[in-house]
Chains A and B, each alone.
Chain A
Amino acid sequence: AQRVTQPEKLLSVFKGAPVELKCNYSYSGSPELFWYVQYSRQRLQLLLRHISRESIKGFTADLNKGETSFHLKKPFAQEEDSAMYYCALMDSSYKLIFGSGTRLLVRP
């Protein structure tokens, strides 16, 4: 079955601390993976996708096919990073399968 798992509902860190939001997936084919972010009172927006291998706002994510993971990392969290983060997998018909999300709270 195709599934995305985000084990943490809430991750609370202090400003300047490293952040890692976990994402594991289950998919039989070659996955295309994304991280979406939703800031307070804003719409869901793409943060990054594994194909582009970009670093956006200091965040990176590496696809590990052996561990079926796509964890999101940032070395030094900022208060403005506080938001809901969703990991998503695109299946063969181009629809997204989302995890349940992790709320990141960065404290001053």
Chain B
Amino acid sequence: DTGVSQNPRHKITKRGQNVTFRCDPISEHNRLYWYRQTLGQGPEFLTYFQNEAQLEKSRLLSDRFSAERPKGSFSTLEIQRTEQGDSAMYLCATTPKYYNEQFFGPGTRLTVL
């Protein structure tokens, strides 16, 4: 599969634990986005990178959330001290240069007990 990949696909954790998700973009896609989707809603923007630079963060992204994209390739999204309200599908999307179509990964479903 040459599309955007995300790991793990599912994560169940206890409240207060830290979790980390990974997104591997399509080769040479320079922009990478993270979105969060809760039941019955469309995806909501969290943050995005152009190469390794994090250019924008949503107000939804509290200080418990951090994202990185070292070397401008894969990206990680970490949530510290998880809360039940963090339960959602976390989606990654990437975009090639000079083109605005976002290609989505399958998502990581997080359940916080």
Give the interface of A toward B (CB within 8 A): 4, 6, 9, 32, 36, 43-46, 49, 86, 88, 90, 93-101
Contacts and interface: CB of A to CB of B under 8 A. Distances in A.
Interface stretch (B19-27, B62-70, B75-83, B98-106): B98-106
A23 B102 CA distance: 19
Contact of A98 (B31, B43, B106): B43
Contact of B43 (A9, A44, A46, A93): A44
Nearest to B45: A95
Nearest to A52: B101
Given A32-B100, A43-B105, A100 B56 contact: no
B48 interface: yes
Interface size class of B (residues with CB under 8 A): 20 to 34
Main secondary structure of the interface of B (DSSP, over half): strand
25 contacts: A4-B42, A36-B104, A43-B3, A43-B104, A43-B106, A43-B107, A44-B43, A44-B91, A45-B104, A86-B42, A86-B43, A88-B42, A90-B100, A94-B31, A94-B48, A94-B100, A95-B56, A96-B35, A96-B43, A96-B45, A100-B40, A100-B41, A100-B42, A101-B41, A101-B42
